[in-house]
């Protein structure tokens, strides 16, 4: 089955036989749910603004058989599609010599810079124990902000605008989502002085019937009390209320 543009016959042929990869499940049902998923991702990628050169890295990650690479790229693309389908103006930021956030959210009189990241399952086998997993998850979230994304957050501060980290969590503790949300308080996540980061946005995404969607009421925003440019209350309300009763992301009837 040929999938238009991104996942064509050549790609399908090249990944056949790949083990321990997301593509295995897709190819097993290429004429059903697997094909729907590929067409959905392909459609979104085609709609995403930017030149082929600007989108090349995302394209490579989406087509990668590596689970972490594909999942991170699919989450980034899904967040963009989710917000624009709710009437937000969200545009990719072209990469340059220095690290930049993924998107800029354009509002009436302001902008918000957004960095999307994915917390994959911890490789430490001890993380299978729940109490350890809980502590590990929180520590890893903090590390994402303090150690890996600081330069992206400075981008927003230099432009006198809020910067947020959108976090898709897939590690051991994510299965206890509601309880995990209660642990995501500002004292835990912002124990230092990272004034460049305005807030963390926690989301959970699933795929059902080949179509991605966000878990109902899973969008949780945790403010940084030390933020130099706080995220305005009306913006937070618009984002957390974006899913409403419809958590599906438009797949154009894929």
Question: Any idea which of 32-36, 53-57, 170-174, 205-209 has the lowest mean pLDDT?
Answer: 170-174
pLDDT reading at 162 higher than 90:
yes
pLDDT band for 3, please (50, 70, 90 cuts): very low
Q: How much is the average pLDDT of 220-246?
A: 83
Segment 71-77 long-range contacts (CB within 8 Å, at least 24 positions apart): 71/22, 71/118, 71/120, 71/168, 71/170, 72/117, 72/118, 72/120, 74/41, 74/212, 75/116, 75/118, 75/168, 75/205, 76/102, 76/116, 77/41, 77/44, 77/45, 77/48
Of residues 77 and 253, the one with the higher pLDDT is 77
CA distances from 253 to 68, 81, 199 (A): 27, 14, 34
pLDDT reading at 66 higher than 90:
yes
| Contact in structure between 201 and 220 (CB atoms under 8 Å) | yes
SS3 for 24? helix
The per-residue pLDDT for 171 is: 57
The per-residue pLDDT for 244 is: 60
Cα angle 128, 133, 137 (rounded to 5 degrees) comes to: 135
The per-residue pLDDT for 237 is: 87
| Contact in structure between 75 and 120 (CB atoms under 8 Å) | no
Q: How much is the average pLDDT of 74-91?
A: 92
Task: Note the pLDDT tens digit of each residue in 119-129.
Answer: 765 444 444 44
Q: How much is the average pLDDT of 232-243?
A: 84
Share of the chain above pLDDT 70, in %: 74
Q: How much is the average pLDDT of 60-76?
A: 93
Query: What is the Cα 191 distance to its own chain's centre?
Result: 23
Identify the top-confidence range among 133-147, 176-190, 240-254: 240-254
pLDDT reading at 174 higher than 70:
no
- Which residues is 213 bridged to in the sheet? 206, 248
Task: Note the pLDDT tens digit of each residue in 140-155.
Answer: 666 666 677 888 888 9
The per-residue pLDDT for 187 is: 56
pLDDT band for 55, please (50, 70, 90 cuts): very high
pLDDT reading at 85 higher than 80:
yes
- Token representation of residue 81: 């599609």
In CATH, the number for domain 67-240 is 3.40.1350
pLDDT band for 242, please (50, 70, 90 cuts): confident
The domain segmentation of the chain, as residue ranges, is 67-240
């Amino acid at each position: 089955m040929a999938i238009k543009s991104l996942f064509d016959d050549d790609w399908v042929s090249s990944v056949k036989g790949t083990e321990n990869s997301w593509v295995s499940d897709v190819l097993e049902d290429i004429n059903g749910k697997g094909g729907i998923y590929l067409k959905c991702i392909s459609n979104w990628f085609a709609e995403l603004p930017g030149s082929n050169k600007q989108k090349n890295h995302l394209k490579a990650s989406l087509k990668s058989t590596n689970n972490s690479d594909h999942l991170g790229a699919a989450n980034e693309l899904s967040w963009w599609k989710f917000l624009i389908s709710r009437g937000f103006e969200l545009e990719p930021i072209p990469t340059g010599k220095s690290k930049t956030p993924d998107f800029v959210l354009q509002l009436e009189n302001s902008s918000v810079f957004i960095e999307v990241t994915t917390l994959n399952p911890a490789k430490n086998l001890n993380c299978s124990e729940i109490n350890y997993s809980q502590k590990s998850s929180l520590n890893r979230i903090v590390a994402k902000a303090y150690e890996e994304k600081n330069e992206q957050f400075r981008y927003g501060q230099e432009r006198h605008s809020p910067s947020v980290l959108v976090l898709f969590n897939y590690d051991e503790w994510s299965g206890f989502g509601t309880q995990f949300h209660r642990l995501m308080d500002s004292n835990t996540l912002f124990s230092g002085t990272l004034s460049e980061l305005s807030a963390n946005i926690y989301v959970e995404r699933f795929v059902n019937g080949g179509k991605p969607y966000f878990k109902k009421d899973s969008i949780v925003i945790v403010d940084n009390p030390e933020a130099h440019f706080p995220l305005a209350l009306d913006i937070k309300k618009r984002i957390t209320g974006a899913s409403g009763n419809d958590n599906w992301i438009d797949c154009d009837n894929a």
